[in-house]
Amino acid sequence: MATTRHGRDSNGRRPRRSDPGRHAAPRFGDAMRRWARLLLFGAAGVALLFGGMSAALQLAISHGAFTAQLDAALERAIGRAVTHGEVFVRFGLRPRIALSDATIANIEGGSEADFARIGRLEVTLAPLPLLSRQVEIHSLLLADADILLERDAAGRPNWIFGRDRAAAPSEAPAGGLRIAELEIESSRIRLPGSPLHRIEIDTLTLARDDPDDPLLLDGRIRLNGEALSIEASLGAAADGALPLSARVTGQGLRLNLRGTWPRGTDQPAWSLALDAKAEPGTIRRLARSFAERELPLAPGPVAVTAQLGPGSPFPTVSDLKVRVGATDAGPILAGLRLSRAELRAASFEDPVAVSAQGRRAGAELNLVLALPSLRTMLEAPADEPWPVEATINAGPSRLTLAGAVRRDAGLGPAEFQARLVTPDLARAGQAFGVALPRLTGVTASARLSGLATREVRLAALSVTAQPLEGQGELTIGFASRPSLRGRFAMRRLDLDAFGADAPRRPGQPAQRLIPDIALPVEALRGLDAALTLSAATLRVGGVTWRDASTAVALANGRLVLDPLVATSPGGVLGGRFTLDAAAAPPAAALRIDSRGRGLDLVALRRAFGIPAAFEGHADLALDLRGRGATLPALAATLSGEAGIAMVGGRFTGATALSIGPDLSRALLPRGTPSGGLGLRCFALRLSADDGVAQSQALLAEGEFGRVDGSLALNLRNETLAARLLPDIRVMGLTIRTPVTVGGTFAAPRVGVEPGAALAQVVGDTVANRLWRSSTAEFLRGTTGSTPPGGDCASALTLARLGRAGRLPEPAPVPIPLVPREVQGIAQDVVRGFGGLLGGRRR
């Protein structure tokens, strides 16, 4: 543009002055903007490049570009074949690597092909250590994993990795990966052959923010299906050990551990204090889960305290205390309830002491049990016997056991030396759950075997008590019905002592002679037996018997004693006894016979304290049966036969009955000579039907003449009626004067009216049969025939119940044409003439 001389342009305007600052600023700003754009484009390019590389790397990894290298690196690290599925890598501030469907091979000889199958594995890396070429895992997630832990046939574990799994720990390479957090989800660990055969992990987290911080564990797991919550803290190392605190809780279960854990394998020392508590029933549930067995009872609350330490193959235990609260032990012993039980062990080497207190059948029970040490019970060979000692107190009774138990055999074949001391065996049996007879002052010993089985054996059994003393062998069965088998030989047996303090049953009349004793019906119904019993001396009713023996057979409530043999003071008796307690009412039968020469009546008289009686030997025969649960009931229904037969001997006076003197005066008006009267025979047979007995034979012949007649007895009310017809010789004449007897067994009376006496006997419908019998007719005096009984031969045969026996010499032949009343004088005259003619012995 052209300007004029005055500095104006052609249009007359003055031009502006140039400003250097105004022109420089736009140039610098443009440069900065250009550089900013360049940096932005560069960063975007780098980002695009990095993203493209990541995408390319992810694409390459997903297509298996580095699979071979990754698998080879893993196989070199663990020495096992590894396979996996998809691999995902995410780059960022904390890079993450995810891997799915991975498998790790098992060792050779394993039960399965894979050691582990992992559904998902995620590893998050810490970025900064990567800059210094260090790998630090920020977190590791393991999900849907199935891990098998086992040993091969040589005992090698499959959870140790590396090319040389047998290398010593000192030779293992140093270093390792640092993991800040480990999470496990929905996984399980299997341990076949172990009581803890399955571990299921719902969630489990192990975390440590700083190397100096404690390692924290928190999770929910299931052991053999038992749900547990775990909280644990493993502190920083101090003096080569790590402080450990753990708490495990579950349904009705709480467990605390506190102490130290070794830093490494070269620091084996560690110590943990255990404190555990379980609510009632929990132990039974845990036994079902871990031991796969049912405990016989559900324990009450359980508390366990112990100090655990290192040991192999089991940790050592010291200061062990196990306490069990109130427990119903009825499944072990009916009616037993424990108030408390305790187990103690001072150390792993000291014996274990068990004590328990309880109550059963009103008696306090106390148990003290000494077991071998924990080391012996856990580490000793299975066939090595354990010494065991036990003492059980039940009130004043004490049972001690000492023996040995093999772990592989249990209590069954174990043999114990047993000793029982009790003032009352029946009460002690109630406390121990065994029905035992009433014995006082008992001291017993035996070799005991078969505990905890259905058959307990007592060998070399020795019993000393107030009523008996003997030895033998017994086997006690505990099947559906208890049983006894064996033999027992007694030096002495006092049956009177068994019922010495038995009270009279309510309502029993004091004047009754038949004692109201109950038969052991209930005991027989619940027991089976096969026994051989003997007693050198046997005391019954205040009388001592000798050499008693019998074979006992008891089955389903039916008792049989056969043969039954005993030597009474007067001679040997033998027979058979049965009692069917299963019948309703119970039925009993007794058959007794005298043996040899019969019973010595003099010895019997002295033994039973009878002041006067017969002298000589008599045959006894009984064949009786009845029904009822007591002796009076049996007597009231008694049926059968009973007889006494005697040949020779002498009559020395009245019997011990209160009727004796009166009857003796009635039958022998002139009295009994001091030397007594000779007997030719005596015979008595009674036939009983439903408690009413009547004589089939009643005869006595001798120097005094002849006495016969009839007798009726009512065993229901203990009344009697008799009419005796004596032919008594007085001054060579025979006098026949009827004698009647009536009343009761306890108070008989002589000379009563026969009809009134018989009316007492026939007081009911059954006994009225007597009115139609020859006995009743004879007692009423309505017949003129000869009374029943006959001569000695026929009467003795009846009295012996048909068996043959000794008979007296034939009676003198009556002199023809001589009246019966003077036959005696005539016989004396004939004998006198015989003497004069030389027939008498010199």
pLDDT digits (tens, 9 = 90+) for 529-558: 999 999 999 998 888 999 999 999 999 999
Domain count, the chain: 2
Phi/psi of residue 69, nearest 5 degrees: -65, -40
- Considering the domain boundaries, does residue 446 fall inside one? no
Burial class (CB within 10 angstroms; exposed 0-12, middle 13-18, buried 19+) of 280: middle
* pTM for this entry: 0.67
Question: Both 625 and 699 in a single domain?
Answer: yes
Residue 207, pLDDT score: 87
Sign of CA dihedral 209, 215, 216, 219: positive
Residue 358, pLDDT score: 92
The helix (H) or strand (E) run that includes residue 795 is helix 792-799
Residue 229, pLDDT score: 95
Phi/psi of residue 755, nearest 5 degrees: -65, -40
- Considering the domain boundaries, does residue 625 fall inside one? yes
Question: Both 619 and 734 in a single domain?
Answer: yes
Question: Both 838 and 792 in a single domain?
Answer: no
- Considering the domain boundaries, does residue 758 fall inside one? yes
> In whole angstroms, what is the distance from residue 182 CA to residue 145 CA?
14
Strands (E), 427-527: 440-449, 455-464, 468-478, 482-494
Compute how many other C-beta atoms are within 10 angstroms of the C-beta atom of residue 566.
Answer: 19
Question: Both 764 and 621 in a single domain?
Answer: yes
Question: Both 624 and 754 in a single domain?
Answer: yes
Question: Both 754 and 822 in a single domain?
Answer: no
Residue 68, pLDDT score: 65
- Considering the domain boundaries, does residue 456 fall inside one? no
> In whole angstroms, what is the distance from residue 331 CA to residue 734 CA?
82
> In whole angstroms, what is the distance from residue 450 CA to residue 413 CA?
6
Pair 458, 474: CB distance under 8 Å: yes
Question: Both 623 and 746 in a single domain?
Answer: yes
Question: Both 665 and 747 in a single domain?
Answer: yes
The rounded Cα 384 to chain-centroid distance in angstroms is 26
CA distances 663 to 546, 667, 723, 742, 760, Å, are: 35, 6, 11, 12, 20
Question: Both 807 and 842 in a single domain?
Answer: no
* Mean pLDDT by groups of 10 residues along the chain of 842 residues: 46 50 54 66 55 52 56 67 79 75 87 90 72 68 89 81 46 50 89 81 86 86 90 83 91 94 69 93 83 79 93 83 91 84 93 93 89 87 89 92 87 90 86 75 94 88 94 88 92 80 50 84 89 95 92 95 94 96 94 92 83 81 95 94 93 58 60 74 93 92 84 91 75 64 85 72 63 66 51 90 86 56 55 46 36
Phi/psi of residue 576, nearest 5 degrees: -150, 140
Q: What's the half-sphere exposure (Cβ side, CA atoms, 13 Å) at 422?
A: 27
Pair 280, 300: CB distance under 8 Å: yes
- Considering the domain boundaries, does residue 447 fall inside one? no
pLDDT digits (tens, 9 = 90+) for 675-698: 678 888 999 999 999 999 999 999
- Considering the domain boundaries, does residue 571 fall inside one? no
Question: Both 652 and 733 in a single domain?
Answer: yes
Compute how many other C-beta atoms are within 10 angstroms of the C-beta atom of residue 682.
Answer: 26
> In whole angstroms, what is the distance from residue 107 CA to residue 114 CA?
8
Nearest Cα neighbor of 759 from 737, 734, 780 is 780
- Considering the domain boundaries, does residue 792 fall inside one? yes
> In whole angstroms, what is the distance from residue 316 CA to residue 320 CA?
10
Q: Is 129 helix (H, G, I), strand (E, B) or coil?
A: helix
Length of the chain: 842
Question: Both 626 and 672 in a single domain?
Answer: yes
Burial class (CB within 10 angstroms; exposed 0-12, middle 13-18, buried 19+) of 440: middle
Domain around 825: 818-842
Question: Both 666 and 776 in a single domain?
Answer: yes
- Considering the domain boundaries, does residue 742 fall inside one? yes
Pair 213, 236: CB distance under 8 Å: yes
